[in-house]
């Protein structure tokens, strides 16, 4: 377990350190894993400096699945669109474990957040295709969530048509 003092010290380095100190802090916090998730999410949501947000999002993406629930909560509920954008980027960096939670965002009423989820799924790429296809087959074409999934799949097709076609043929 990483000490709270070490986590706080490295959070401060992200906010005000030199470039190499910031990079080292991201590595330290990433290695701290779940112990650092709350502090990094707090930094992501409270800091107004986009560089600090970027470093926090990078560390959270490296932590991976242990950070997923906290990041999804920020993405779905935080009122600041910049925070949501960085949260979505971090979620995309987690990859395949984030696919289902991102698709579930399509069921929400918040259009801009659905758009961020779609972009994250496109960034995840081929690992999103199978689950998107399943979601499309299980939802009604008139539903907004269905249309969001179709549009996302179309974006994936334009980015990596051969990879998408290969998954859909399985």
Per-residue confidence (pLDDT) for residue 158, from 0 to 100: 77
pLDDT confidence of residue 163? 52
Q: What is the pLDDT along the chain (170 residues), one digit of tens a residue?
A: 789 999 999 999 999 999 999 999 999 999 999 999 999 999 999 989 999 999 999 999 999 999 999 999 999 999 999 999 999 999 999 999 999 999 999 999 999 999 999 999 999 999 999 999 999 999 999 999 999 999 999 998 876 556 555 545 54
Torsion of CA 145, 151, 111, 115, to 10 degrees: 120
What's CA 8's distance to the chain center, in Å?
A: 23
Quote the CA–CA distance of 72 and 100 in Å, as a whole number: 11
Sign of CA dihedral 31, 66, 127, 119: negative
pTM greater than 0.75 (yes/no): yes
Query: In which residue are the tokens 């399943």 written?
Result: 134
Tell me what pLDDT residue 136 has.
93
- Could you tell me which residues come within 8 angstroms of residue 128 by beta carbon, excluding any fewer than 6 positions away? 99, 102, 121, 122, 152, 156
The answer to whether 159 and 138 are in contact (CB under 8 A) is no
Identify the three-state secondary structure at position 1.
Answer: coil
For the beta carbon of residue 55, count every other beta carbon within 10 angstroms: 26
pLDDT at site 162: 61
* Cα 102 from Cα 87, distance rounded (Å): 11
């Amino acid at each position: 377990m990483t000490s709270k003092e070490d986590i706080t010290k490295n959070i401060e380095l992200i906010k005000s350190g030199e470039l190499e100190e910031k990079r080292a802090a991201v590595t330290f916090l990433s290695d701290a894993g779940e112990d650092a998730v709350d502090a990094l999410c707090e930094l992501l949501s409270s800091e107004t400096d986009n560089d600090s947000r970027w470093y926090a999002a990078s560390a959270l993406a490296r932590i991976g699945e242990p950070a997923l629930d906290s990041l999804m909560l920020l993405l779905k509920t935080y009122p600041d669109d910049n925070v949501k954008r960085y949260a979505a980027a971090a979620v995309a960096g987690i990859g395949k474990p984030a696919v289902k939670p991102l698709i579930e965002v399509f069921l929400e009423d918040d259009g801009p957040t659905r758009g961020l989820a779609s972009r994250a799924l496109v960034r995840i790429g081929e690992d999103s295709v199978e689950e998107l296809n399943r979601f499309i087959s299980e939802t009604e074409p008139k539903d907004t969530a269905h249309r969001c999934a179709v549009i996302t799949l179309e974006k994936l097709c334009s980015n990596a048509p051969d990879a998408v076609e290969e998954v859909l043929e399985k």
